[in-house]
Amino acid sequence: MSTQATSTPPAASAPPEPLTGFHLRVTATTFGANFSDGYALGTIGAVLPALSTSMHLSGIWQGLLGSSALIGLFFGSITLGRVADAIGRQKVYLYNFVLIALASAAQLWAHGPGPLFVLRLLIGFGLGADYAVGPTLLSEFAPRRLRGVLLGSLTVLWTVGYVLSNILTSYLPLTDTAAHWLLASGALPALLVLLLRIGIPESPSWLASQGRADEAARIRRRYLGQTSPTAEQATAPTAEPPPAARYGELFARGQAAKTRFGVIFYSAQVLPYFAIYTFMSQILSTLRIDDATAQNLVLNLALLSGGVLGLWPVQRMGRRPFTIGTFAVLTVCLALMAVLSGASGWALMIPFLVYTFVMAGASNITQVYPPELFPTALRGSGVGFLNGTSRVASAVGTFVLPVSLSRLGVGWSMGWMALVLLLGTAVSMAWAPETRDAPTAEDWHH
């Protein structure tokens, strides 16, 4: 079975699909995983010094706890992305946050590294499911003309969660008890997201791909106000549903190049990002900056502003030029930090600040590109696979960076991360497709 799309009618052949309150609701509830992920990663990075003292953590345990949620994200994305293609998006979209809420709350009583590691693996597993299913579901509901900004805004909420955790941990005395309360506080947004997701319907694109066209039409009428097919839906097959897509089709001729590009592009971008911002305080102390708290605040503001302002070029520019351009800027920034590692902390802060601002905007594309690389029948599996493999890279970077900083110093550490970004630049120049106008509904023919 081929998973390639046929040509679609030009956009001018039908009026643009309007943005509805339901679109905004799905977008808002999909924010939950990104906010929770950013909050969880920011919190563990900030409380690790306090936990290291109270739990007597070795460097190995610090690396394991820092990367634990990322490891869980790998297994959740790989496993439940495939499940979502088999049984539908809605069930996974709802029940994964039950796990996240319960495991987050249980961190309050996890006073040893082993139990805390297991709980954070479970949190990551639930978040990984949402990284596979959330953008998939949203991309299948969103109007094509607004897909970039709606999907890109998910990463902005990751930044909001990360910055909020940093602000809280910067101005609270981090005793062992306070550290556990902060970790457990992640259950509150998770519970809110769980309640708001009740009633979100199944993806009509997935239903149509399963031959359940009548159910898909009812959802479109009720939730999207569509009383007649859009230009994309008019090309949808009406015959019996095709056989279920096999996982191996991610690597079949015609799809393999997009899968390969997605893995390398996503991994090269997030490896230095997650590593740097998990161990931000250690990096700032290495830079010999007197007022590290103030600089941390400035960097967090750069993260927020870069993420918000980065939504515009994601929407207006093509995916390919945006990806290549931001990779090139990020590579130069970390290369400058490596070359100038012997300079004053303030001199190093300039490329670090530019890196932070640009990376926040560039990371928006990680929620936009993956759903556009795969057809409906493979989208959950494909998005899950890219998220999972990228989190392996993130976990490796998060585990290696503290060791690298202590043994090699900030210069060499920034140097090898610049090489990772250079790889992303080269691969994007060679393989990045342009998917801004790619269909993500059931105008994919089998």
How far CA 125 is from CA of 34, 101, 204, 276, 329, in Å, comes to: 13, 12, 26, 22, 32
Q: What is the dihedral of CA 405, 334, 278, 81, to 10 degrees?
A: -130
Among 72, 97, 96, 331, smallest CA distance to 193 is for 97
Determine the Cα–Cα distance for residues 364 and 305; give it in Å rounded to an integer: 12
Amino acid found at 27? T
Determine the Cα–Cα distance for residues 220 and 234; give it in Å rounded to an integer: 14
Determine the Cα–Cα distance for residues 76 and 96; give it in Å rounded to an integer: 9
CATH superfamily of 12-200+245-431: MFS general substrate transporter like domains (1.20.1250.20)
Looking up tokens 């953590």 gives: 57
This prediction has a pTM of 0.68
The two tokens of residue 25 are 């609701």
- In the chain, what are the domain boundaries? 12-200+245-431
Query: Mind spelling out the 3-state secondary structure of 136-181?
Result: HHHHHHCCHHHHHHHHHHHHHHHHHHHHHHHHHHHCCCCCHHHHHH
Neighbours of 214 (CB within 10 A): 10
User: Per residue of the chain (446 residues), what is the pLDDT tens digit?
Assistant: 344 443 344 444 445 566 777 878 888 888 777 788 788 877 887 788 888 888 888 877 887 887 788 788 888 888 887 788 788 888 888 888 899 999 999 999 998 889 999 999 999 898 888 877 887 788 778 777 777 777 777 777 877 888 788 778 777 788 888 889 999 998 998 898 888 888 888 888 888 878 888 888 888 888 877 665 544 444 444 445 555 567 778 888 888 889 999 999 999 998 988 788 767 767 776 666 555 566 667 777 887 888 788 878 877 788 899 999 999 999 999 999 888 877 666 677 888 889 989 988 888 888 888 888 888 778 878 888 888 888 788 778 877 887 887 788 878 888 999 999 999 999 999 998 888 776 554 443 33
- For 233, which DSSP code? G
226-280 pLDDT tens trace: 665 544 444 444 445 555 567 778 888 888 889 999 999 999 998 988 788 767 7
**pLDDT at residue 234, rounded to an integer:** 44
The enclosing H or E element of 404 equals helix 376-407
The enclosing H or E element of 422 equals helix 409-431
